Amino acid sequence: MVPDIITKHIVERMYQLYFEGNSYQTIANIFNAENVGNKKWRDNTILEMIENPIYKGDYLHGKRNK
């Protein structure tokens, strides 16, 4: 997998804000105030992105469960 250079900085900043102790809603508010990505951010969107195994680096290709 190759990081998307256009959105990479958004994801990195989102994680930085999260690790600094900001809530999902606070991050969404910051992104909306700064018009990040020209889209409307919601706390649920931030939550889904932070919990996404691909963004976290936990994705295992070919992993199978019984």
Kindly state the average pLDDT of the residues 36-43. Answer: 95
pLDDT of amino acid 19: 96
Residue 41 burial (CB count, 10 A): 23
Residue 60 burial (CB count, 10 A): 7
Mean pLDDT for the chain overall:
89
Q: Are 43 and 25 in contact (CB under 8 A)?
A: yes
Question: What residues does each domain of the chain span?
Answer: 23-57
Q: Which two tokens stand for residue 58?
A: 């936990």
Kindly state the average pLDDT of the residues 29-41. Answer: 96
Kindly state the average pLDDT of the residues 53-63. Answer: 73
Tokens 């809530």 map to which residue?
A: 23
